[in-house]
Amino acid sequence: MKALITGGAGFIGSHLAERLLEDGHKVIAVDNLSTGRLENIQSFKDKPGFDFIEGDICNADLMETVTQQCDAVFHLAAAVGVKLIVDAPVRTIETNIGGTEAVLEAANKFGRKILIASSSEIYGKSETVPFREGDDIILGSTSFSRWSYACSKAIDEFLGLAFYQQYGLRVVVARFFNIIGPRQTGQYGMVAPRFVKRALRDEPISIYGNGQQKRCFCYVDDVVEASVALMNCKEATGKVYNIGSTEEITIEGLADKIIEMTGSKSKKEFVSYEKAYGRPIEDMMRRVPSLERIKEAIGWQPKTTLNESLRLIIENLKKVKI
């Protein structure tokens, strides 16, 4: 197989590219390097069968050119991270909707199966836990730019499923829940690498809000495993799947665990959302996926515990000498 990965120099995209190369496949990675980094692909960029193109998914001509050369498309490129979404809402909407439209048009033109990476943000302010793929979406006011991301990913899903229904394009939608692992940056608000970096420096760890928000963190290799399996599953076509862990922890609990695992002298400090992001934002207190559908489809469940995930992240950040 020759796969196109949009966002291929990003956190998840680079791990996916590496996995496919190890399995003997060829990969074309496209990334505009707005949030992706060349360092993420450094260890395998010269391997036979790997090509990197610095380019934008909104470039329809580019998407047609690279899609024609491939057998399957993993569409991971998106504006991500709460901080980026709050700071650049126009970019978020244009990239997530316009870019996905261009990728889908190209996939449809050449009949390529496509996996669209969506997000747990889709569920918005719902309190019906665990979240199931068929649940209603409950979003906040348009005055909070944070919800523009959830809305844009919902449009991505609507577009993808519409291409499936109208044209028979083989589309799979994967909703990712709080993915963590090496190569993830805390620059755009990602909590795990931000906490680990500050703990390793014995610096104060800033917790936004009251710290009682509960999240389930899933290791990137497990997510890659699920994504590849869904791409290879004929029965997954035209459906939406949650991909994540069901191991819950509060954000304050995550900080405590990281401080303990690193032997850090860091202290916790609580920061209001308004101070952290420069404006008020709404947050979800609990976010847990139901994994029933994906277990039934491909027998998948995460293998990596939170403790093991954090250990691997800590080891990696020590090596890169943060």
How far is the first Cα of the chain from the last one, in angstroms, to the nearest whole number? 37
Angle between helices 100-110 and 146-167 (to 10 degrees): 20
Structure-derived torsion over alpha carbons of residues 93, 78, 84, 258, reported in degrees to the nearest 10: 150
As annotated, the active-site residues are 149
Half-sphere exposure of 38 (CA within 13 A, CB side): 5
Token pair listed for 102: 């261009």
Among residues 21, 4, 16, the alpha carbon closest in space to that of 69 is found at 4
Token pair listed for 56: 């934008």
Tokens 């193109």 -> residue: 53
List of residues 6+ apart from 14 with CB closer than 8 A: 8, 29, 36, 40, 41, 183
Q: Report the C-alpha gap between 226 and 249 in whole angstroms.
A: 22
Distance set, CA 205 to CA 113, 248, 254, 278, 286 (Å):
43, 20, 11, 18, 21
Taking the CA atoms of 271, 211, 256 and 218 in sequence, report the sign of the dihedral they define.
Answer: negative
Token pair listed for 118: 């969506």
Which secondary structure element, helix H or strand E, spans residue 313, and what is its range? helix 306-319
Beta strands in 177-266 (DSSP E): 179-180, 205-208, 214-216, 218-219, 240-243, 248-250
Among residues 190, 183, 186, the alpha carbon closest in space to that of 215 is found at 190
